[in-house]
Structures are given as C-alpha cells and as structure tokens.
Amino acid sequence: MQFSNGRRDIDPRRALSANGPADHRGLRTIRVGLVGLMDDVNAARAWIGCLDAFKAARERNARRFRDWPGAEKALGAKFGIEQQFVRIIDKSQFDRLFRERISGDEFEALVELFEGPLIAMFGDVRPDCIVVCIPDALGDLRVQNPELSARERRALEILKREEESAQGDLFAPTEEELAEAEALRTTAEDLLFRTFYRALKAKIHKYDNAVPIQVLRRTTIDRPEDAGHSQATRSWNFATALYYKSGGLPWRPADLPEGVCFIGVSFHHLKKRGGHLVYASVAQAFSSDHEPFCLKGAHIDHEQRRDRQPYLNTSQAFAMMRDILHGYEKRTGVKPKRVVVHKTSMYQPEEEEGFREGAKGIVPACDLVWLRQTPFRLIRKGSEEPWRGTLCQIEGESYLFTSGYVPWWDEFPGAHIPAPMQIGSAGPTDIEARSKEILTLSKMNWNSSDGITRLPVTLLFAKKVGEIMTELSDNVTPNPSFRFHT
C-alpha cells in the first residue's frame, strides 16, 4: 500500500504512525456532527475528544495490535465537534417508541426520529461526517417486515430453507466460512426482517446532498479492555473509518496497473412491486484512478438460475458493462485500458457474451474472473499455517489463500485451517497476475485499520450494498459512493 509522500508498507497501523495517510497535506480539521440521546452524545463527544491522545494497546501481539499515537500523528487530522452540528434526540419520544415489542409503524417512526436531525445538517454549512450514537439495544433491533403479504412471507420462508440447506454444500464449514458466505449476498432473512441500522442508512440515500454517517455503538466506548479489543485498537478502526468517510484517503494501492477498472458482480433478493420475488444485480467498481463506486443493475426473475445460482442474460450483462464503463469515464475523463470482472460463481455463456460485447470497441482487454469457496485445504510441514498470498495450482485448478499466516504479524488471525478461494476465468488469462490484483484489492477496506480482508474490495461490501437495496423503492437511485455503504 502507498501512504504519504509515496512511501510503501504492508501494515497500515505501522505506516500511518510513521508517514501519515496517502492524501496527507498538513494538519486537517475534520468537522464531525453528532446525533443521539443526550447520554450517548455526551459519551461520544468525550470519547472522540480523546482520539487526540496516545492510547497503549493491551493485546498480546504487539506486532499486530499497535499503540494508538493520536489522530494528528496517525492521520494528520483533528476531529472537531462544533455545537451547531450536535443534535439531541428527545428521550421521551424515544422511550415511547422503543420497547421490547415494537410495531412496524413504531419502527418507522423511530427511524424518522433520527432521520430528521440528520437531514437538518445537509445544508451548505455542514459537517464532513455525522456520527450517530446509539445504545446497543437499538443497534440490535430488528422487526418483521410489515410490507410483506402472507404469500410473500411464505415464499421467503421456503427460500430461507433452501439457502440453509445449501450451506451443507460446504465441506465441514467453519463459522468463519458460513459468515463469509452470508457476507457475499443478502438472504431471505434480510427481507423477512428490518434492522434499524440498515433502515437509517437507506434513508440517507434519498437525498442528493447527503453527508456520510458513521454509527458509534455505546459498547465501543464503554466495553472493558479485557472484553475485546483495547481502546487503542478501537481508536485505530473508528478513526480510520471516520477519516475515510470524511473525504480522506488513508492509503491507496501501490501496485495496481493504471487505467484498469475492476468490477465485482453480486446478486441480492429484493421484493418488486406486485409481490414477485426477484434478484437484483449490483456492480461495485474500483480503480487506482478514482473513488470506488457501485451501481444498481437489472432485476432478475427468481427462476433465472442455473445450479441454484442467479445469472445475467446477455442484454443485462451488456447493459451493466456499459453503465460501469460510462461511470468510469465520467469520473476520470478517460476510458479504461482494461476491465476485470470478479464474480462468486462461474460465468454462464450469456454473461460472458454480454460482458465482452459491452466492452467491445471501448476497452482493449476484458478479463472475467470468478472466485468461490472450496473444500480444498493445504497443510504445510512444520508449525505455520499456509501463508496469506500462497497460490497453489494442482491439475489445472488454482487456489489462492487470501487468509492464512501473516508473516509481518507472526500470526494466523483465525481459529481453523485457512481456507483458500478457488480462482478461475472465462477465457484465457494470467491467473498469477489476477491473483496479485485480488490480493492488493483485499487490502482496500478503509472501514478497518487491519489492512487485510479475505475478499477483494470489489466483492467485500456486496451484502451491505444489497441490504440497503432491500430498503429502497425502485424509483430511488442509491448514492454510488462507497462512503455511504460501508
């Protein structure tokens, strides 16, 4: 990764402490808004104020969990809270709406109780990011979706059982693998229930002049250090995310080729008007030349599946490719030199034809890469797990370890044998080069300071984007910026 003044490193916390963020141009004051109940806002104000101070890491592995040096040292920034950007939620209204059993109307009213103070700060004079302070019970709140008819609910229950049975397709799945499978797409469960966080996030997408929001749960502030990450690690993660959502760039990829547009394609369940269940396709685009963005694709009939996997027909794949390339040119002023598509299932012939036709005459080269879970495991001789970054090729099949032993941490951050991703392509490509790109893209999560994720950024936020899509009506276009989805 690349940081201030072009310096390179593989560890964000070490590099930020030594060099500062990629866009460092001197000390920057970030204006933070606060919304929440009085007690939560006061706690958040004090905790954010302490981000200026040094905090010692308490975890055992000092190579992985580093001391928090303070916001100015790590990010070249100060987080300022002006009173004009503080909004207090009326506690009597909150208590009247928030109960153990809550109706659909009360849930909607509760979301609107927070929405009003938020949009009041979307004017010409605005904060850079708004922190929504919530008690943990509110963060965990979910209610049955009242908009579903009995018929739709029955259809979703059937779909949910189908999805649960599909988990048995994994070979001895661990909790981490099941969580990863869920992270790639929204499920029937996400339509059956609504959550406060998702509903509030979706509200912001209705406004063209919105400010990104960052949710701060009370446990992040109050949880004892012996019950999870230390205050130093919490400060690293929260401040890095807040810096990015406020328009900053903590780090950028150092080795991605210029002029290449990387696209991640995923599918999500949505309820279309008329009560028919459909899949909605989503494309997430990333390049070293511009801000990441995402676009809503076509609605796909639930029966448009092969091997239980939805797919795009030729015209849908063509339209998605053209929309992404138009979005890239609009943001950069030039056409990309190459396009690489990532997908978590193998390409159907219609998809390959549509993507290649969509790129034809615009982009000289188009690579169609797929990644999927696999029962393949690799055991190394000795005490160390397979290293992250290992590419194993056996009998024409390729397996890439995006998780595994991390040498600069001297640790494998997992409880089970590392599981690789099987990687392949529709059409010839350089698998080793594509694997290096995927590894680089798996370090582009600015919502954390770890600098490591199992999935590339093209697919990392698939579920979060899809969840927001479930809350939006068909006539609302989601904000394309990743800052509104992470």
Q: How far apart are CA 465 and CA 380, in angstroms?
A: 37
State how beta strands 213-217 and 129-134 pair: parallel
CA distance 396 to 422: 11
Rounded CA-CA distance 86/33 in Å is: 6
In DSSP notation, 282-345 reads EEEEEETTEEEEEEEEEEEETT-EETTEE---HHHHHHHHHHHHHHHHHHHSS--SEEEEEESS
Interacting residues of 473 by C-beta distance below 8 A, sequence separation 6+ = none
User: What's the pLDDT at 178?
Assistant: 55
Q: Tens of pLDDT along the chain (486 residues)?
A: 999 999 999 999 999 999 999 999 889 999 999 999 999 999 999 999 999 999 999 999 999 999 999 999 999 999 999 999 999 999 999 999 998 788 888 999 999 999 999 999 999 999 999 999 999 999 888 887 766 666 666 766 666 666 555 544 444 455 555 555 555 556 666 667 788 988 999 999 989 899 999 999 999 999 888 778 999 999 999 999 999 999 999 999 998 989 999 999 998 876 655 556 778 888 999 998 888 899 888 888 878 988 878 899 999 999 999 999 999 999 999 999 999 999 999 999 999 999 999 999 999 999 999 999 888 888 888 878 899 999 999 999 999 999 999 999 999 887 778 889 999 999 999 999 999 999 999 999 999 999 999 899 999 888 788 878 878 877 788 888 989 988
Contact between 54 and 70 (Cβ < 8 Å)? yes
> How far is the CA of 274 from the CAs of 126, 155, 338, in angstroms?
40, 14, 40
Query: 365: helix, coil or strand?
Result: strand
User: How far apart are alpha carbons 185 and 467 in whole angstroms?
Assistant: 8
**Structure confidence at residue 444 (pLDDT):** 93
This prediction's pTM: 0.90
Domains of the chain (ranges plus CATH)? 4-146+179-246 (3.40.50.2300), 260-484 (3.30.420.10)
Q: List, in order, residues 6 or more apart from 394 with CB less than 8 Å away.
A: none
pLDDT of residue 433: 96
E strand spans, 374-463: 391-394, 397-400, 421-426
Within the chain, what is the greatest distance between any pair of CA atoms?
Answer: 66
* Alpha helix positions (H), 91-195: 91-97, 104-119, 136-139, 150-166, 175-183, 188-192
Nearest-angstrom CA–CA distance, 351 and 344: 13
Amino acid at 385: E
